[in-house]
Amino acid sequence: MPELPEVEVVRRGLHRHVAGRVVAEVEVRHPRAVRRHVPGAADFAARLAGRRFEAARRRGKYLWLDLDGGAEAVIAHLGMSGQMLVRPVGAAEETHLRVRFRFADDGPELRFVDQRTFGGMAVAELVPSAGTLVPAPVAHIALDPLDPAYDPEAAVVALRRRRTELKRALLDQTVVSGIGNIYADEALWRVGLHGSRPTASLPPAEARAVLAAATEVMTEALGEGGTSFDAMYVNVNGESGYFDRSLNVYGQEGRPCRRCGAPIRRDPFMNRSSFTCPSCQPRPRTA
């Protein structure tokens, strides 16, 4: 599943390849891809014909394309396997092509390809949030650590205000957005904290450290994600490219901890898994 660094790679590609271009025609190939656009596929297509994409933007794992007029955007959810591909006109169709945008300049098309169809697109109204305009479904999402307006101290306060466990708070998109299961585990390992530590008793210095580690690991992943890029291929999502990241704990069950050598353990966590070093990240006694 794409996390913040992967979505940012997609955003950069979209901004570079489709911002400033006028949509000529939209073809919805699978109605499920626009199920979040309540008025339906025909309305989605009709509303976008003749409109210009102004910019590609992101908050956390939410991605959108601003439309001319400044009141609406096309929001895109990549889901588990969504891809945004920029392809030459006439290029062979992908098996799982869901939505195709043709442009008035007859240049490369934008194709939304999604094998598992958990992703989708919708036209959404822009509303004010944190000093900017964002699509209405994004308004409740906190700023992410890569946002220039992100305030680390405000994030520390929000994290410690939650009455929950540390990892759950890190994944809470209303505290800080964009941190998913992989980067939460990596950040916790870097600072030697167990995810079941209660946030209420977490010292501010530790909250600050884990948030800084999350920012650091996502920034590093973004640096790696930016390398597999060429002019015609906006990004590969959910494919092998994502998993060559240098992960210290995530998916490393049984392997020696790179810091102390203890075998990494896996525990069930919210229908997924948590990976920790039992020595570097002691579980709190009360948990």
Task: Assess 280 for contact with Zn ion (CB under 5 A).
Answer: yes
Size of the site for Zn ion (CB under 5 A): 7
- Nearest approach, Cβ of residue 285 and Zn ion (Å): 19
Residue 170 interacting with Zn ion (CB under 5 A): no
Specify the residue, 117 or 273, whose C-beta has the smaller distance to Zn ion.
Answer: 273
Catalytic residue status for 88 = no
Binding mask 210-249 for Zn ion (x = CB under 5 A): ----------------------------------------
Q: 109-114 and 53-59: which strand pairing?
A: unpaired
Among 260, 263, 282, 287, binds Zn ion (CB under 5 A): 260
Q: CB of residue 284 vs Zn ion: minimum separation in angstroms? A: 17
Annotated catalytic residue 153:
no
Q: Binding of Zn ion at residue 259 (CB under 5 A)?
A: yes
Contact positions vs Zn ion (CB under 5 A): 257, 259-260, 262, 277, 279-280
Active-site amino acid positions: 2-3, 61, 272
